[in-house]
Amino acid sequence: MAPDPNASGSGTTPSKEHKKKKDDKKEEDLSDEDLALKQQLELYVERVQDPDPGLQKAALESMRQEIRTSTSSMTSVPKPLKFLRPHYGTLKAYYETMKGSDLKKYLADILSVLALTMSAEGERESLKYRLLGSEGDIGSWGHEYVRNLAGEIAQEYAKRQDHCEHYDCEKIEQKENIQQTSDIQSSRELGIQEQTEEAPIDDLMELVQQIVAFHMKHNAEPEAVDLLMEVEDLDLLIEHVDKTNFKRTCLYLTSSARYLPGPDDMLVLDIAYMIYLKFEEYPNALQIALYLDNLQYVKQVFTSCDNLPRKKQFCYILARHGIIFDLDDDMVADDDDREALQDIINNTKLSEGYLTLARDIEVMEPKSPEDIYKAHLLDGRASAGASVDSARQNLAATFVNAFVNAGFGQDKLMTVPSDNTSTGSSANWLFKNKEHGKTSAAASLSMILLWDVDAGLAQIDKYFHLSDSHVIAGALLGVGIVNCGITNDCDPALALLGDYVDKEDPSIRIGAIMGLGIAYAGAQTDLVRSKLTRVLNDAKAPLDVIAFTAISLGLVYVGSCNEEVAQAIIFALMDRSESELADPLTRLLPLGLGLLYLGKQESVEATAEVSKTFNEKIKKYCDMTLLSCAYAGTGNVLKVQNLLGHCSQHLDKGETHQGPAVLGIAMVAMAEELGLEMAIRSLEHLLQYGEQNIRRAVPLALGLLCISNPKVNVMDTLSRLSHDTDSEVAMAAVISLGLIGAGTNNARIAGMLRNLSSYYYKDASLLFCVRIAQGLVHLGKGLLTLNPYHSERFLLSPTALAGIVTMLHACLDMKAIILGKYHYVLYFLVLAMQPRMLMTVDENLKPLSVPVRVGQAVDVVGQAGRPKTITGFQTHSTPVLLAAGDRAELATEKYIPLSPILEGFVILKENPDYREEN
């Protein structure tokens, strides 16, 4: 017969007995020492409840002593806390009956520590008794106690804030009622209530002060920062940092900023900036100022520092970031010094430094396209297919030659002097290209003379005397390319290109307009604006001229949120006819608009609202482009989800807006490693489930995520897609293989591309893409990078990103743009080209060779002690090349670098404390 479930008595006795036996067994298991301690503590608990205050005090003191000695290190639950567990309730109950006195506070302290292991989840009893207890030093109870308290404070703070918000709503309602009834009495009551509710967090903030001081003293900076973020009072941090811990603190602040929602991220970086300024760590402060895009801060860094070599280093940092910045008397007092510093910011020394690197690594020998194709390594059929569509092959060779010899000043096609004719062989190669091909060929000369303005303009000049409009267009574009990233006082680009913008011939106009966009990218020059907005308003101008004008305006005013330019582009978009809206080139107009808001987040909202009034055909495209540009490089998870939502829809064939949405995912997620890995996974899913127009954009998005950083998993995905049945997907994948390997000379990608060249030897279009990719992989013979991120992936250069994104948007319709007559959009990549070098110079800016260790960078944020920042390093003499994810550190004590990040140009000063070892 089953036992009666309601008969409670019968079932409980055996279990009680069983429990008793178990307890006895436990008692037996204890060592003599532990048993003595247990009995001792039980005695103290009885004594605490004794009516004699003297006995009580002695018992509390002893108990306190026992707990303190055992909680100083927390590897397991300390014995006293274990043995006092059964008595926690007893002590709590007794505490309630005690009269207010010091003893009661003493007991509250002990209860606060006991609550560490005994209080129920969410009760926050540890904090409750801490606030009721004495004001003593909390650190003496040990780290674990302080950590637990910090957690409870954060919860309590959040609860009180909620309560306050709720209370404020009620108060507003009450006030409205008072106004209606004009009842003086209730207004008085409300006044009393207001006073009591005014300062609900002072008690917490006192504790926070103590905890932060404790954490900062004990190398737990991240915990201090976390607590202050929870209680929204980071300003407290500035008074607690000192010389020993400010670097670790700021490293944690700058790293966590990437994962915080706005506007908290900016606030955190502001605090880091203040701390760096306080400890005169100016180069770091300058980098944060650039990250915040705050020119006032940049100015403040220059005025705060009075050391000339350090100011030179600041100028190198500004030059690498690619922003236009004019020094004034406050920043540098001496005229000659100011001119020298302005020259560094204007990048006039870049070409010289790059060629020094090339000579040092011994790669000055010019390379021909055949050296890159390495056709002899393939079987017969590829070399046999070389005769197919020779104009297209010559055009491909022109680009390969331009990319490979970029910046070296010499090559085997364009700059070879010929003995028998005055024009030289460059003209011969030039005329091996047809019509619009000549434009790219003429412009390729300026790629070879990149950054060398004087020599470049002198050599391009000869093309202006030819009557061929395509050659002149190429020469105009070339003037822009040579001046890319270099600012010159006499503005040669504007002087040369300004008159051609209003010419009749559309190809000449496009050449001049693109040239202006590339030469003045990010400069926000008003003269350029007035010239180009005139073109946008020109009703007779053909569509292609309008499209390139919008892009150039976007580049010149990148990230500026300039309203006049935005309006000009919006009107140009509204004026387009139905047939024009269907043209692939029209899609460059929304991109030009988007570039104005690159990385500027909420500032885009007004323009995004206007875009909702556009024609149905372009409305969604514009919306996606604006969204992706505005949040580019922010890592904003919500925007990535939004864009993924648009990609998940299965739409009609004619829809084009999903392409920019896919690119947008990459643009937003490229901000930090974690988001980047997740975006790669999401894009894999889109490949499986997405419509055709999404699949065409996915390879390009992967190319952007890993630009100049050949990750093996992405390489394999792109290799698979390069054999796709849809030729557009295959082309995008091939170009992306070039992008992820750009400037790395990666042997595996080079091998893949060679095999593809033999696989597609009959398909002229795909072979053209393979050739372009081969040129990109060997960009600058492996000395250049396209990565828009620099300074250990902290800063994003807006002009570089703008150039890459423009080229990728053009690739969304390969057949119409890249394989059509607008292949010169590939030259927009010049905006992102930078030497991937570390060049050390002395205080007079002369190259100085020192040993450096180059290895894989290690993330040391929040780690204890002084961990190594690089792993698997090799020691080289500068100048050296840095691959993606590499970090360098000096291998000698003889010099001190003036920049904390060893990238680009770094000035070294001699270490006064250095002693030569015998």
pLDDT for 190 equals 40
Backbone angles phi, psi at 815, to 5 degrees: -65, -40
pLDDT digits (tens, 9 = 90+) for 193-235: 443 344 467 778 888 888 888 888 888 888 888 888 888 888 8
Which has more pLDDT, 166 or 67?
67
Percentage of the chain beyond pLDDT 90 is 35
Could you give the CA distance from residue 790 to residue 381 in angstroms, rounded to a whole number? 43
pLDDT for 187 equals 42
Could you give the CA distance from residue 168 to residue 159 in angstroms, rounded to a whole number? 14
Which has more pLDDT, 280 or 57?
280
Using the predicted structure, report yes or no on whether residue 752 has a pLDDT greater than 80: yes
| 50 torsion bin: left (phi>0), alpha (psi -120 to 50), beta (else) | beta
Could you give the CA distance from residue 393 to residue 400 in angstroms, rounded to a whole number? 10
Q: Which residues on adjacent β-strands are paired with residue 906?
A: 840
Q: Which amino acid is at 786?
A: L
Helix boundaries (H) for 30-142: 32-48, 53-71, 79-84, 88-97, 102-118, 125-132
632 CA to centre of own chain: 9
Asked if 249 and 237 count as a contact pair (C-beta separation under 8 A), the reply is: yes
Of the listed ranges 118-122, 358-362, 889-893, the least confidently predicted one is: 118-122
Using the predicted structure, report yes or no on whether residue 20 has a pLDDT greater than 60: no
pLDDT for 421 equals 43
pLDDT for 24 equals 52
pLDDT for 376 equals 79
pLDDT for 53 equals 78
Whole-number average pLDDT of the chain: 84
Backbone angles phi, psi at 872, to 5 degrees: 60, 45
Q: Which residue has the tokens 């093996």?
A: 712
pLDDT digits (tens, 9 = 90+) for 864-893: 778 898 899 899 998 999 998 899 999 999
540 CA to centre of own chain: 42
Using the predicted structure, report yes or no on whether residue 423 has a pLDDT greater than 60: no
pLDDT digits (tens, 9 = 90+) for 632-646: 998 888 999 999 988
Could you give the CA distance from residue 42 to residue 92 in angstroms, rounded to a whole number? 15
- pTM for this model (two decimals): 0.87
Using the predicted structure, report yes or no on whether residue 106 has a pLDDT greater than 80: no
Using the predicted structure, report yes or no on whether residue 181 has a pLDDT greater than 90: no
H-helix or E-strand containing 847? Answer: none
User: 904-910 and 837-841 as β-strands: parallel, antiparallel, unpaired?
Assistant: parallel
pLDDT for 733 equals 94
Asked if 219 and 245 count as a contact pair (C-beta separation under 8 A), the reply is: yes
Strand, coil or helix: 600? coil
Q: Residue 668 — pLDDT band, cuts 50, 70, 90?
A: very high
pLDDT for 189 equals 40
Best CA proximity match to 697, nearest among 685, 682, 687: 687
Q: Where are the beta strands (DSSP E) in 714-836?
A: 784-785, 789-790, 795-796, 834-835
pLDDT for 169 equals 60
Query: Which tokens in the block code for residue 504?
Result: 């009749």
Q: Which residues on adjacent β-strands are paired with residue 880?
A: 838
pLDDT for 135 equals 72
Average pLDDT over residues 166-193: 51
Could you give the CA distance from residue 280 to residue 283 in angstroms, rounded to a whole number? 9
pLDDT digits (tens, 9 = 90+) for 62-81: 877 877 777 555 556 677 77
Using the predicted structure, report yes or no on whether residue 853 has a pLDDT greater than 60: yes
pLDDT for 619 equals 87
Q: Which DSSP string do the residues of 528-596 spell out, in sequence order?
A: HHHHHHHHHT-TTS-HHHHHHHHHHHHHHTTT---HHHHHHHHHHHHT--HHHHTSGGGGHHHHHHHHT
Q: How many CB atoms lie within 10 A of CB 179?
A: 10
**Cβ-based neighbours of 917, under 8 Å, separated by 6 or more:** none
H-helix or E-strand containing 685? Answer: helix 673-689
pLDDT for 918 equals 55
Asked if 731 and 720 count as a contact pair (C-beta separation under 8 A), the reply is: no
